[in-house]
């Protein structure tokens, strides 16, 4: 059996391996293979998920906490690592999407509560007035006047319409058409001694 040298370094290898490398180099090659690393990581994750290993990890964490309670350096480390994890999470696209959706929903809710007095269709007008630095109370008074004026104008316009158009406008606004009431004579169809009841 002739001595060979490792394919990756100058170490002499005495035994024939499939890889043609010394053991450390063979291991390095194996670990450089992405498929191998993926299998290793999957196995490691699966092992960490087992109830026994989770229980062991949580016991160890509690023990560490108990041992280091009151150690300022440990406390500082915990605070810093908490902040780091939080920052990492906040920077993730998922968190940003979630946070902006939550902020938008909260904003809408606050706006709806604060502007409950203002019909939705007048909100743009209110915002336009507020954008001109008019104080909120003054802007509200202006919008309420605008609403009253619009309603008065609408009522006057409606009153000026011919009857049929008023009725059509009501139907267009959602009113239901019902058959008009027709009284029906419910009395007997015979007469008493030749005298109709209507004639008595």
The footprint of Zn ion (CB under 5 A) covers 6, 8-9, 11, 22, 25
* Beta carbon nearer to Zn ion, 25 or 146: 25
Q: How far is the CB of 38 from Zn ion (least distance, A)?
A: 25
* Beta carbon nearer to Zn ion, 29 or 123: 29
Question: CA nearest 125: which of 112, 140, 104?
Answer: 140
In 3-state terms, what secondary structure has residue 166?
A: helix
* Beta carbon nearer to Zn ion, 22 or 139: 22
Task: Measure the CA–CA gap between 200 and 194, rounded to whole angstroms.
Answer: 11
Q: How far is the CB of 17 from Zn ion (least distance, A)?
A: 11
Is 49:60 a contact under the CB 8 Å cutoff? no
Backbone φ and ψ of 17, nearest 5°:
-110, 160
* Distance spanning both ends of the chain, measured CA to CA: 142
* Beta carbon nearer to Zn ion, 25 or 134: 25
Q: How far is the CB of 88 from Zn ion (least distance, A)?
A: 38
Q: How far is the CB of 73 from Zn ion (least distance, A)?
A: 42
Q: How far is the CB of 31 from Zn ion (least distance, A)?
A: 14
Task: Measure the CA–CA gap between 107 and 41, rounded to whole angstroms.
Answer: 43
* Beta carbon nearer to Zn ion, 17 or 82: 17
Task: Measure the CA–CA gap between 77 and 67, rounded to whole angstroms.
Answer: 15
Is 80:72 a contact under the CB 8 Å cutoff? no
């Amino acid at each position: 059996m002739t001595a060979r040298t490792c394919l990756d370094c100058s170490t002499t290898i005495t035994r024939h391996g499939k890889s043609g490398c010394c053991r450390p180099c063979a291991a390095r090659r194996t670990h450089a293979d992405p498929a191998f690393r993926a299998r290793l990581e999957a196995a490691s994750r699966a092992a960490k998920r087992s109830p026994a290993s989770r229980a062991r990890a949580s016991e160890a964490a509690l023990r560490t906490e108990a041992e280091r309670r009151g150690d300022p350096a440990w406390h500082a480390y915990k605070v810093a690592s908490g902040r780091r994890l939080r920052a990492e999470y906040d920077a993730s696209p998922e968190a940003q999407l979630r946070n902006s959706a939550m902020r938008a929903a909260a904003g809408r809710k606050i706006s709806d509560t604060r502007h409950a007095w203002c019909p939705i269709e007048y909100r743009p007008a209110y915002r336009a007035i507020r954008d001109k630095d008019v104080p909120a109370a003054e802007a509200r008074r202006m919008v309420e006047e605008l609403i009253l004026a619009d309603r008065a104008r609408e009522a006057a316009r409606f009153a000026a319409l011919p009857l049929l158009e008023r009725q059509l406008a009501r139907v267009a606004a959602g009113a239901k058409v019902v058959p008009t009431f027709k009284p029906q004579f419910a009395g007997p169809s015979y007469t008493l001694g030749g005298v109709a009841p209507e004639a008595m």
